[in-house]
């Protein structure tokens, strides 16, 4: 669906992003990275930490005013792929405001700039980079969400 803005030309109002998404306290974390980077594994560890699944592997991102809202495509809603086990049904949330983007990489800066962000549908969302395979990855996501994530009232 396209939306026309007189100031900026055509602008998408929704897109599907290659990302897994989890939520905590009404705020979503979009987990991005290449195939095999550990998106589903980190998602599973965050679920163990009390987060709730929004979507695994593909996330629909919609613009709602000055916020971005995350949901799962209907074909994968409520499903999580666990490597070595298969696809399992999970409790999920939908239409959750996105507060943080996590980029999975092994190239991590020791003291990154706190003001990094990702532009999605013309909205800037705080961005952090972590290595999904380290034991502290879920703790880093939770701390970053509290420290850097957007607040919604």
Cite the active site residues.
18, 39, 57, 110
How big, in percent rounded to 5, are the helix, strand and coil portions of the chain?
15, 45, 40
Residue 100 CB neighbours (<10 A): 24
Non-local CB neighbours of 134 within 8 Å, separated by 6+ positions: none
């Amino acid at each position: 669906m396209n939306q026309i803005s007189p100031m900026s030309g055509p602008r998408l109002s929704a897109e599907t992003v290659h990302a897994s998404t989890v939520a905590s306290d009404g705020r979503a974390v979009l987990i991005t990275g290449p195939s095999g980077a550990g998106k589903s594994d980190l998602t599973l560890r965050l679920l163990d930490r009390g987060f709730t699944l929004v979507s695994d592997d593909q996330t629909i991102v919609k613009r709602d005013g000055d916020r971005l809202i995350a949901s799962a495509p209907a074909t994968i809603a409520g499903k999580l792929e666990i490597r070595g086990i298969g696809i399992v049904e999970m409790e999920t949330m939908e239409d959750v405001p996105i507060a943080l983007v996590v980029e999975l990489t092994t190239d991590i800066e020791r003291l990154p700039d706190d003001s990094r962000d990702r532009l999605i549908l013309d909205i800037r969302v705080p961005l952090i980079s972590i290595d999904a395979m380290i034991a502290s990855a879920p703790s880093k996501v939770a701390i970053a969400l509290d420290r850097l994530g957007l607040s919604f009232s």
